[in-house]
Structure 1
Amino acid sequence: MALTLYLHPLASFCHKVLIALYENATPFEAQIVDLGDPAEHARYLEVWPVGKIPVLHDSTRDRTVPETSIIIEYLDRHYPGKVPLIPRDDDEALEARLWDRFFDLYVQVPMQKIVTNTLRASGENDRRGVADAQASLAIAYDLAERHFKERLYAVGESFSIADCAAAPALFYAGIVAPFDGTHPHLSAYFERLLQRPSFQRVLDEARPYFPLFPYKDAMPARFL
């Protein structure tokens, strides 16, 4: 098989790429990476020295492709399917890239800051960093609430790379900093994302790993 995706089923950024693959039924091999295992981590560094997941390897083109947004653009260019994840209209493509970055940088990143802080040893917690992350999420929720007042998806009526980014970002962020009772338009958008078979499949595959999530006790029962 040409494509191998190095991933972990619990990781939100891996979910983003999996959604893109499942939307277009793109054949690939999943290679689960346990970065907590020193020996496995060392082997993985030979694939991508930065050591982060996910990473896509294309044996046909002998290309290793890191970074989620670049992976999805690569797939859209070289392995296109029925769902164009980068809009063909130039202006819409820019809008999709903007909202892709929005969900990565202003929802995923602060969410991860809050989550990883719980994993730090006693005395190494970053209270100020967590407070800043919570404030960033609040701003992002308000902005997204206005954006989705009159939009079905992040860019008009069509699913795109931006929605691949939004789904896992909002899934985990909604657990650590719930928005369902305060942001109705954003909540309705998230519910639409939950109806996508691609996202449902990702969550099904992640479910056995949910007990490892530091905020598992706050996870809504419908996801367990």
Structure 2
Amino acid sequence: MSLQLFGHPFSSYSWKALIPLYANGTEFEFREYTPYDPGDLEYLRRVHPAGKFPVLVDGETTIIEATSIIEYLAVHHPGSAPLIPADPAEAVVARMLDRIFDNYVMTNLQRVVNAYIANAEAPDPAEVEGGKQGLLQAYRWIETWLSENRLPPHVSLVTCAAAPSLFYADWVERIPEDCPRLIALRAELLALPPVSRCVENARPFRPYFPLGAPDRD
């Protein structure tokens, strides 16, 4: 099989690349990263400037970064899921929201997670507070946007970015009750078969969540 995705089942950005593959029923091989395998680390350092996954390999073509992987799949392995809106103006909005979820939801939750990875017993309070406040600010911006706009139909680039970021972000800082649209969106996303598949495949790794995985979802 020429199409391969290199990543890890518990990785949020691996989910982002897996969701469109599952949604379109695209045949591929999942190559699970093993942190204790020096060959895996060597491979990532060779193909990615920061040695990160996910990495998509399609024959002689290698694509890095989850957003770029989705863009590539939309062009070269299209299916019934409208990954990128056909209308150019709508595509711009989808790409904007992709950046919102990556840069202001995913990045802020990762800021908190990284503080716990650095010191599980005494995480840097400034990093934890900064990340959580950043999440609350992002939540309320998205809530306002949802009250005034409509998302592209699932499964789109927005779905792929929003599902993993909201899944893990809510573990770090609960989406507040004054963001009912965002709470509903998270539940809607987790009910989608491609997303649910990621959730279930990641379930065995929950003990590794640095803050302690909540007993839900």
Q: CA deviation at 1:124?
A: 8.9
Residue in 1 that maps onto 2:97: 99
Q: CA deviation at 1:130?
A: 2.8
TM-score, normalised with respect to structure 1: 0.89
- Counterparts of 1:4 and 1:103, CA distance in 2: 25
Residue in 2 that maps onto 1:162: 158
Q: State how 1:42-57 maps to structure 2 within 5 Å.
A: 42-57=42-57
Residue in 1 that maps onto 2:6: 6
- Residue 210 (structure 1) aligned with residue 206 (structure 2): yes
Residue in 1 that maps onto 2:190: 194
Residue in 2 that maps onto 1:109: 107
Q: CA deviation at 1:37?
A: 4.7
Kept after mapping to 2: 8 A contact 1:174/1:180? no
Kept after mapping to 1: 8 A contact 2:23/2:155? no
When residues 123 and 19 of structure 1 are mapped into structure 2, their CA distance, relative to the original with a 3 A threshold, is closer
Kept after mapping to 2: 8 A contact 1:33/1:44? no
Q: Is the deviation greater in 121-130 or in 48-57? A: 121-130
The one-letter amino acid paired with 1:25 is G
Deviation per CA, 1:127-146: give whole Å up to 9, x if none: 32332222211110001111
* Displacement over 6 Å in runs of 4+: none
Kept after mapping to 2: 8 A contact 1:73/1:86? yes
1:129 to 100, 112, 127: 127
Q: CA deviation at 1:38?
A: 4.5
Q: CA deviation at 1:151?
A: 5.4
The one-letter amino acid paired with 2:145 is H
- Residue 173 (structure 1) aligned with residue 169 (structure 2): yes
Secondary structure of the structure 1 residue equivalent to 2:50: coil
Deviation per CA, 1:80-120: give whole Å up to 9, x if none: 00112000001000000000110000000110110111011
- Residue 145 (structure 1) aligned with residue 143 (structure 2): yes
Kept after mapping to 2: 8 A contact 1:106/1:136? yes
The one-letter amino acid paired with 1:177 is E
Q: State how 1:60-99 maps to structure 2 within 5 Å.
A: 62-99=60-97
Kept after mapping to 2: 8 A contact 1:113/1:129? yes
Kept after mapping to 1: 8 A contact 2:95/2:157? yes
Secondary structure of the structure 2 residue equivalent to 1:57: strand
Q: CA deviation at 1:150?
A: 5.7
- Counterparts of 1:11 and 1:98, CA distance in 2: 22
The alignment-based identity, stated in percent, is 38
- Counterparts of 1:2 and 1:36, CA distance in 2: 26
Contiguous gaps of at least 5 residues in structure 2: none
Aligned residues: 217
When residues 180 and 130 of structure 1 are mapped into structure 2, their CA distance, relative to the original with a 3 A threshold, is closer
Q: CA deviation at 1:47?
A: 3.6
When residues 3 and 181 of structure 1 are mapped into structure 2, their CA distance, relative to the original with a 3 A threshold, is same
Secondary structure of the structure 2 residue equivalent to 1:148: helix
- Counterparts of 2:45 and 2:190, CA distance in 1: 34
- Counterparts of 1:35 and 1:45, CA distance in 2: 13
The one-letter amino acid paired with 1:167 is A
TM-score, normalised with respect to structure 2: 0.92
